[in-house]
Structure 1
Amino acid sequence: MGEFFNAILNFINYAVSIAPRLFEGLKMTASMTVCSLILGIVVGLISCFFSISKVKILNKLSGAYLSIIRGTPLMVQAMFIYFGITGALGFRISSFSASIIVLMLNAGAYLSEIFRSGIKAINKGQMEAARSLGLPHGVAMRKVILPQAFRIVIPSVTNQFIITLKDTSILSVIGVAELMRQSNQIVSGNFRGFETYAVVAVWYYVLVVILTKLFKLLERRLAN
C-alpha cells in the first residue's frame, strides 16, 4: 500500500513539474480552437446558405467543398496546405496560420450540415408568416429563422467544438507547439511516456468537461 501511495505522489509531483511547459501548449491549443471555430462558423453559414440556395452553381460549390473536406483525412489536408500549396506557389506561412486554415475548413464543412439541419427543422410556416408581414427574405432569415435554428443546433455545435479541440493534437505533425507537441518534446527528453501522456489525457479531459458545462449553461440560458 505504501508503494502505491508513493507512486501516486511521484506522479503528482511529475505532473506539477511539467505543467508550465504543458500550459504553453494549452494556450496554443485554446487559441487554435477558438480562432478556427469562429472562422468555421462563418464558413459554415456561407456554405449552408449556398447549399439551400436556389442557385444551382452555389449548390454545386457547397457540395464540392463538403465532399472534399469530409472525404479526406485532416492530417492530409494539413500536409497539403502547409507543405504542398506553399511549396507549389513558392511562399511560406506559419504552422499556426496553416493550422487555423485547416481547422476552419474542417469545422466549417461539418457546421454547414449542422446549420442546414437546424434551418430545415424550423416549420416553413415561420418563414411564410414573416414574409407575409413584409419582411424581406434575408431579414426574415436573420431575425426569425436563425435564432430558432441556433437553439436547436447547440448540442451539435458543442460536439463539433470538442472535436476541433481534439483535432488540434493532429496538427503537431506540422510543427505547431500545441499541447500534444509539447508533450512529445517532453517525452523525447526524459522518455517518461506513460506519465506524460497520462497527464496530457487528463488535461484534455478537463478541457472537454469545462466546454461541455459552458455550452449546457448557454443552452439553458437561451431556452429561458
Structure 2
Amino acid sequence: MNRRKFSVIAFIALVISFLGAPLLTHADAKTPEGELRVGMEAGYAPFNWTQKDDRNGAVQIQGDQAYAGGYDVQMAKKIADKMNRKLVVVKTEWDGLLPALQSGKIDAIIAGMSPTAERRKEVDFSDPYYESQLVIVTRKDTKYAKATSIKDFSGAKITAQLSTFHYGVIPQIPGVKKQEAMDNFPAMRVALESGTIDGYVSERPEGVTAESVNPDLKMVEFDKANGFQTNPEDVQVSVGMRKGDPDMAQVNQTLAGISQDERVQIMDKAIKDQPASDETTSSSGKKENVFVRILKQNGSMFLRGTGVTLLLAIVGTTVGTLIGLLVGVFRTLPESDNGAKRGLQKVFGWLLNAYIEIFRGTPMIVQSAVIYYGIAMAFGIDLNRTAAALFIVSINTGAYMSEIVRGGIFAVDQGQFEAAHAIGMTHGQTMRKVVLPQVLRNILPATGNELVINIKDTSVLSIISVSELFFQGKSAAGTNYMFFQTYFIICVIYFVLTFTATRILRLVEKKMDGPSAYVRLDDVDVAVGEDK
C-alpha cells in the first residue's frame, strides 16, 4: 500500500470516527442472541419476493414494514427453527449479498445462489437445497419460442444476470449475439418485452413464473442432449455462509431431513402463492385497472420508499450545505503569522482538498459500498444502515457544496471585504455580517439543484440495502412482472418530488430577492406604498 492510498483511507476513517461516532457499533459483536440473519433480494420470484403482509408464511423484512415470501424464505424458516433461532430477513441487492456476508451484516445467503467454484473461494456452501435446469425465456411472438435446442437461438441477442454462472454459458449457443450482463431479473424482463434482447438465460422455476404471469413470454426448455452443458453445482442452489462457520454442519443436517418430495411441494406452493399470481379482477368481478392494482398491492411500499428518499435527500443536502459553508469559510482564512498554526492550517487544508477530490471524483455507489461494507471488513465497525446512508449523502453533497460555496464567496466584490476591514471588522465579522448573507442567496439555485440530484441519486443506496423509492419499485416489479407500469408510477413519483422541490426553492429565492427583484426602478413609488 503506497502512502497516498494510506492517507486517503486514514482520512476517511478519521472523518467517520469524528462525525459518525455516535452512530457506530462494533461489528465484531456477534449476531444478537437467538437470531439468524439471512440475506436475499426479495425480488426473484418464486425463490423470494416482497409482499405487503404475512400471508402464506411470509417473514417481515428487517427495518421495513413489508414481508418476504417464497421458496427461500420457507427453507430459511426450517433452518432457523432447527437452530432455535428467530429468522431475520435482510433485504439486499444481489451484488451486495457477498459483501454483506463477509462483513458480518448477515449470517447466511439463502437467495437462489449456486455454489460455483468462483464463489467457493470466498464463502462456504451447504449441501444443495434445490436443483433446477437452465432455460431461456423469450417472447412468444418470435421464432425462438418454438426452439427445441440452444442451436435454434443462433443469431439471437441473449443475456443473463450479472455475477451468475448463467452468463457464462451463453457462448455455448452457436452464433449467439451475447449482450452485456444485466443487474437483475426485472431489468432483463423489461429489456425482453421492449425488444432490446431476444431472450435471457434463467432457471426453470423463474421461467415457469415468468410464463404463467405474462402471456407474452415463453419459457423454452431443452433436453439433456440439446441444452446447456453444466456442472452439477451450477444448477444447484445452496446456503452460503462465512468460511469456517461452525453452524454449517447444523444447516446441512436440517437440509438432509427435508425430502425431495417435500422440496418439490414447497416450490410448487411458492409458484402458486407469489403475488404475481393474484387475480386481476376486483371483488365486484370487473377487470381492475393495472395501475390501480399496482398501487393497491404496493402503495404502502412506495409511500415508505418516498419517505426514506425525502429524508435522505433533505437531511443530506442540509448537512452537506453546512459542510460546504464551513469548508468555504476555512479556505478564506488569512494565513496565520504563527509558524505552528500556519503549518496546521496547511495540513488541514490539504486534508480538505483530499476530501473534496475523493468524494467528487468517485461515484456515490462506490462510496456506499466502501463505507458500509469496507469499513466493517477492515476496521470491525458496523454502521447502522440508515445512519450510513445519511452520512454518505451528506459528505458527498458537502464535497460538491464546498466548491459551490467557494464560487459564491468569489462572486462577492473584493471591495466589500476591504470596506469591512477598513471600518474595523474582523475576518469572522466580515464573513458573518457581509459575505455569507450574499453567498447564501448566490448559491441557492445550486443548492436546489443538489437537492434534486440527491432525490434521484438516493437510488444507488440500494446497494447497502436502504429501502428507498427505487429499491421498493424494483422489488414490486420483480414480484408483479408489470415492469413498464411499475416503473412509470415510480417515474411519476420522482417527478412530483423534484418538481415540488424546485417550485418551493424558487419561491424561497423570490422571497429572499425582495421587491427590487421584480419591481422596475420607475415603479419604486408603488413598492413603497404611494397611493394612486
TM-score (norm 1): 0.91
Residue 140 (structure 1) aligned with residue 458 (structure 2): no
In 1: Cα distance, 2:471 partner to 2:487 partner = 11
Larger Rg: 2
3-state SS of 2:289 partner? helix
Equivalent residues of 1:48, 1:62 under 8 A apart = no
Q: Given the alignment of the two structures, is residue 33 of structure 1 paired with residue 313 of structure 2, yes or no?
A: yes
Deviations 1:95-117 (A, max 9, x none): 11111111111100110011110
2:385 counterpart of 1:95: yes
What is the aligned length? 216
Matched to 2:370, the amino acid is F
Unpaired runs of at least 5, structure 1:
1-8
Match of 1:189 among 479, 482, 496: 479
Partner in structure 1 of residue 292 of structure 2: 13
Contact 2:321/2:447 (CA < 8 Å) preserved in 1? no
What percent identity do the matched residue pairs reach?
36
Does the aligned pair in 1 maintain the 2:459–2:468 contact within 8 Å?
A: yes
Q: Deviations over 1:166-191 (max 9, x none)?
A: 11111011100111111122122212
Deviation at 1:83, TM superposition (A): 0.1
Give 1:23's match in structure 2, choosing from 303, 307, 312.
303
CA contact (8 A) 2:329 2:431 kept: no
| Paired amino acid for 1:13 | V
Deviation at 1:58, TM superposition (A): 3.4
Please give the secondary structure, in 2, of the residue aligned with 1:92: strand
Q: Which letter does structure 2 place at the counterpart of 1:51? A: R
- Does the CA contact (< 8 Å) of 1:51 and 1:63 recur in 2? no
SS at match of 2:302: helix
Aligned 8 A contact 1:50 1:58 in 2: no
Which of the numbers 312, 322, 332 marks the counterpart of 1:52?
Answer: 332
1:69 shift after superposition? 0.7
Conserved 8 A contact 1:50-1:62: no
Q: Could you tell me how far apart the structure 1 residues matched to 2:414 and 2:399 are?
A: 25
Q: Per residue, is there more strand in 1 or in 2?
A: 2
The one-letter code sitting in structure 2 at the alignment partner of 1:10 is N
Q: Is the Cα contact below 8 Å between 2:291 and 2:485 reproduced in 1?
A: no
Q: 1:48, 1:116 within 8 Å by CA — same for their partners in 2?
A: yes
The change in CA–CA distance for 1:127 and 1:117 in structure 2 (over 3 A counts) is same
Equivalent residue for 1:171, pick from 448, 451, 461: 461
Aligned match of 2:418? 128
Summarize the alignment of residues 73-92 of structure 1 with structure 2, pairs less than 5 Å apart.
73-92=363-382
Question: Relative to total residues, which structure has the larger helix share, 1 or 2?
Answer: 1
User: Bigger relative contact order, structure 1 or 2, given CA contacts below 8 A and separation 6+?
Assistant: 1
Residue type at the aligned position of 1:40? G
The residue type equivalent to 1:132 in the other structure is A
Q: Is the Cα–Cα contact under 8 Å of residues 50 and 61 in structure 1 kept in the other structure? A: no
CA distance in 2 between partners of 1:21 and 1:164 (Å): 20
Q: CA deviation at 1:48?
A: 1.8
Deviation (angstroms), 1:15: 4.9
User: What does residue 114 of structure 1 align with?
Assistant: 404
How big is the shift at 1:217?
Answer: 0.3
The aligned residue for residue 86 of structure 2 is none
Q: Distance in 1 between matches of 2:332 and 2:468?
A: 37
CA distance in structure 2 between the aligned counterparts of 1:14 and 1:208, rounded to whole angstroms = 25
- For 2:369, give the aligned amino acid: M
Q: Is the 8 A contact 1:183 1:197 kept in 2?
A: yes
Q: Secondary structure at the match of 2:467?
A: coil
Between the aligned partners of 1:172 and 1:196, the Cα distance in structure 2 is 17
> Which one-letter code corresponds to 2:313 in the other structure?
T
CA contact (8 A) 1:51 1:58 kept: no
Deviates more, 1:137-146 or 1:45-54: 45-54
**Match of residue 43, structure 1, among 300, 323, 326:** 323
CA distance in 2, matches of 1:219, 1:111: 18
Q: Aligned equivalents of 1:183 and 1:206: distance in 2?
A: 16
Give the letter aligned to residue 426 of structure 2: P
Relative to structure 1, is the Cα distance of residues 188 and 136 closer, same or farther in structure 2, using a 3 angstrom cutoff? Answer: same
The answer as to whether partners of 1:162 and 1:211 remain within 8 angstroms in 2 is yes
Distance 1:61 1:16 in 2: 48
The alpha carbon displacement at 1:16 in A equals 3.2
Deviation at 1:11, TM superposition (A): 4.1
Tell me by how many angstroms 1:86 deviates.
1.9
| TM superposition shift of 1:119 | 0.5
**For 1:42-86, what per-residue CA distance to the aligned partner results, in whole angstroms no more than 9, with x for missing partners?**
211222233334443333222111111111111110000000012
Q: Structure 1 counterpart of 2:429, which letter? A: V
> What is residue 61 of structure 1 aligned with on the other side?
351
Query: 1:119-164 CA distances to partner (integer Å, 9 max, x unpaired)?
Result: 1000011111122222211011011101011111111111111111
